[in-house]
Chains A and B, each alone.
Chain A
Amino acid sequence: MVTLKIDGQEVAVPDGTTVLRAAQSVGVDIPTLCDHKELAPYGGCRMCLVEVEGARTLQPSCTLPASNNMVVLTNTPKVREARKFVLTLIFSERNHFCMYCPVSGGDCELQNSAYGEGMTHWPLQPNWQPFPMDASHEDFVLDNNRCILCRRCIRACGELVGNFTLGVEERGASTLVIADLGAPLGESTCISCGTCVQVCPTGALIDRAGVFQGREKDVAHVKTTCPGCSVGCGVEMIVRDNRLVRIEGDWDAPVNDGLLCQIGRFTPMKETRERLLTPLVRKDGALKAATWDEALGAIADKLKPLAGQNGAGIAAVTSPRLTAEALHDFEQLFGAKLGSPMVTSLEPQAATPFTPGMLDALKTADCVLVAGADLITQHQVAGFFIKRNLPKGAKLIVIDSADAGSGMTDIADKALIAPKGAEAQTLAGIVTDPAIAKLIAGATKPVIVVGKSVYWDAAVKLATALNATLISVQGAANSMAAAMYKLDKPFEPKGRQAVYVALGDAQITPALAQQIEGAPFVAVQASYVSQVTAMADVVLPVEMWTEQEGHYLNLEGRWQEAHRGINAPVNVWSNEKVFEALAERVGATLDGNWNPKEGA
């Protein structure tokens, strides 16, 4: 610990703490621009200059380690004058005219800094040189004219995401943020995670969907869990007037530390499917709008006589995107109460052992073995944790399947291809490869990531032998909960009298549409119109992810909460409410005991 004095306040902080963080820890506010709590100190903007007793010049507090008996003053006339001068220079460099910038009015850290210093004008004339704009990306726009060269975007792209797409070209005032070696962003190696947009302090990186849709003072932030995959990233829905403005990563979320991938951040903003707003019942061959009473009645009349019929009865399948509460109700209704043996989820997976915090092991791993998983297109944030550690010396070994690559072959220290049918042997045999054995031998914190069940048994043995953390990245958002409720068998609706599909807001698969085709009776509860709802005899409209309350169990077995940011349309029900209403009509009650541990 070191003890120092900041503006007369005694502060004790651990060794290596910067003066800026020490000041923040006791509530002393030092204005900053390039600093970001998730990024390494950079010292680029000079806004955080402070006076240090005995030092010849003002010191940047963000890169200055606190030391014993240091006396720091953060708000002297000299410091304030320097801040104003720094801002004057920044404003003079590019086009920082607030009047035509979308973040003006509370959302711009540069503008807020100027207000903080009471600047009524720019002492220096702006430079009229136009800088290039890059609008080639589908999700955001890069406007170098608004850039203050703090390099937060570049640091986030490398340090946090490990993608290293963004960088700079030229020098000094001519410096430009570019992608790759000057490629248009939309054609670059950018993976569209949008972390750069979230950290940009000015209007240099602008989110296309959310721009001009509401400033910070107009919107509400609602935290929830991303239902995109089983990583379970914490997200913030930015909401205005019951409308989703944009999605941001939650910096306080334990799983993702603020990171999101394109699927979590941008894809939901581009939803084009038609929403179901009322129950539908097939009459004379066509789906017609109906009341909930009619629709539930039609389903109950069909299901009740089929209860308990083993082979020819009911087949029920649910999306693992539903909340744990809904999955539990689903299993109880169709399994325990209606007695159907064919009650399962889409993309079923076996429950894998887990310990909450497994993903943290990935953040600090010095050797990662990825077997049969593509962390570039799925479970992407787990992939970020691996990629960002490679420049720090972490080793990466991948085993691609013959039919599906890992996407990481090019960046791996060693890549193997497992022949079809010999996946387990390939994994079990890797230690005999001298190059791999060498990579593994040097590791003190190895992690094995498995994406396909064929690798599982071999991976368990290997993990025990190497004392490695084993992570399974199979399944969708709530597949772990689905497995816990035994919704884990392959879906076989053939020969059943009635098929019930609880789709929620999930995308349908062609396979699902094929499987239910020709079934004598199909009931679907879903948020959107699809090929599957078109085949149904009864359709029930339910909430989508932004509208629900509930719980998710992520791949590392961490229970996380989902919260309502948007109120559902008036005639749209929650998944649980539908199951409860159906249960009532078939004469059953559901116990709602979705979490055995909490319920017990």
Chain B
Amino acid sequence: MAKPKVSMDWLAGCAGCEMSLLDMDERIVAVANLVDIRSTPITDLKVPDESGVDVGILSGAVNNTYNEEVALRMRSRSKCLVSLGDCAVFGGVVALRNFFKLEDALKRAYVETESTDGEGHVPNDPELCIPTEVRAVSDIVKVDVNVPGRPPDADVIFYVLSELGQGRIPELKGDKLHWH
């Protein structure tokens, strides 16, 4: 049997989940032996194969129309979609913005920031993606495995990847289940 193909991509996140993945240290060799690592944000190939992958992993929340595109693409190209980390699973820290009006948040970020010199303005280039309400990945596409954690620790990620690499759906409970 060919090794399962795994792709990763990130949405509105902080790369903390990717750092945590690297925290598994030498065990990453075992994971590499188990699966065929395709596109990831930290390797050269950035986009999942058009022909599809077995496991697609998304970290970060859905924050704008570009995130939506990336999430939809990953969903359409993977057999099993994994939400990795609190932002992807719940909306996480990014979702704090939902408690304010979008215009207010943008104004605070681009106009009222203490470091703004002269007159700030909210970027409005037509080529830019459009900010939206912050959502969990599961709010826009079907997610098969949710791996909460801020970030999930390396042991949990190793467990999830090794299970998926061996064709099993990981079950998170007990010590492996934490939201913080």
Instruction: Tell me, in angstroms, the Cα distance from A123 to B135 when the chains sit together.
Output: 12
- B172 touching A99 by the CB < 8 A rule? no
**What is the 8 Å Cβ interface bit string for chain A, positions 88-106, against chain B (1 contact, 0 not)?**
0000000101111000110
Using known A-B contacts A118-B172, A118-B173, A121-B146, determine if residue A97 contacts B135 with beta carbons closer than 8 Å.
no
Q: How far is the CB of A330 from chain B (nearest CB, A)?
A: 51
Is the CB–CB distance between B90 and A121 below 8 Å?
yes
Q: In the assembled complex, how far is the CB of residue A135 from the closest CB belonging to chain B, in whole angstroms? A: 16
Q: Which A residues contact B (CB, under 8 angstroms)? A: 95, 97-100, 104-105, 111, 114-115, 118, 120-122, 125-126, 128, 130
Q: B178, A121: Cβ atoms under 8 Å? A: no
- In the complex, the answer to whether B177 meets A115 with C-beta atoms within 8 Å is yes
Q: Which of B36-44, B70-78, B93-101 contacts A (4 or more CB under 8 A)?
A: B93-101
Does B91 have its Cβ within 8 Å of any Cβ on chain A?
A: yes
> Smallest CB–CB gap between B170 and chain A, Å?
10
Which of A99, A105, A120, A126 is the one whose CB lies under 8 Å from B177? A120
Task: Tell me the complex Cα distance, A105–B86, Å.
Answer: 14
Contact of A99 among B86, B133, B136 (CB under 8 A): B86
Q: Judging by beta carbons under 8 Å apart, are A97 and B95 in contact?
A: yes
Q: How far is the CA of A495 from the CA of B46 in the complex (A)?
A: 92
Q: Which residues of B contact A115 (CB under 8 A)?
A: 173, 177-179
Instruction: Provide the bound-state CA to CA distance between A99 and B89, in Å.
Output: 12
Determine the interface band of chain B, counting residues with CB < 8 A from chain A: 20 to 34
Give every chain B residue within 8 A of A118 (Cβ-Cβ).
172-173, 177
B179 x A104 contact (CB < 8 A): yes
Residues of A within 8 A of B133 (CB): 128
Judging by beta carbons under 8 Å apart, are A97 and B177 in contact?
A: no
Q: Is the CB of A99 within 8 A of B139?
A: no
Encode B111-143 as 1/0 by CB contact (under 8 A) with A: 000000000000000000000010110110001
B144-180, CB under 8 A of A: which get 1 and which 0?
0111101000000000000000000000110001111
Contact B146 A120 (CB under 8 A): yes
Contacts of A100 in B (CB 8 A): 93, 96
Q: How far is the CA of A122 from the CA of B139 in the complex (A)?
A: 10
> Which residues of A lie under 8 Å from residue B13 when comparing CB positions?
none
Q: Which of A95, A97, A111, A130 has the most CB of B within 10 A?
A: A97
Instruction: Tell me whether A111 and B135 are in contact (CB under 8 A).
Output: no
User: What's the Cα separation between A97 and B97 when bound, in Å?
Assistant: 12
B180 & A128 in contact (Cβ 8 Å cutoff): no
Question: What's the least CB distance linking B104 to chain A, in Å?
Answer: 12
Q: Does B83 contact A (CB under 8 A)?
A: yes
User: Across the interface, do A122 and B99 meet the contact criterion of CB distance under 8 Å?
Assistant: no
Q: Which residues from A are CB-within-8-Å of B99?
A: 95, 128, 130
- Once the chains bind, are B148 and A121 in contact (CB under 8 Å)? yes
For the complex with contacts A97-B96, A98-B150, A126-B91, 6 further pairs of A-B residues with Cβ separation under 8 Å are A97-B90, A99-B92, A118-B173, A120-B147, A120-B177, A121-B83
Question: A184 to B79, alpha carbons, bound, how many Å?
Answer: 54
Please measure, in the bound complex, the distance between the C-alpha atom of A105 and the C-alpha atom of B148, giving whole angstroms: 13
Within the assembled complex, what's the spacing in Å between the Cα atoms of A355 and B172?
Answer: 56
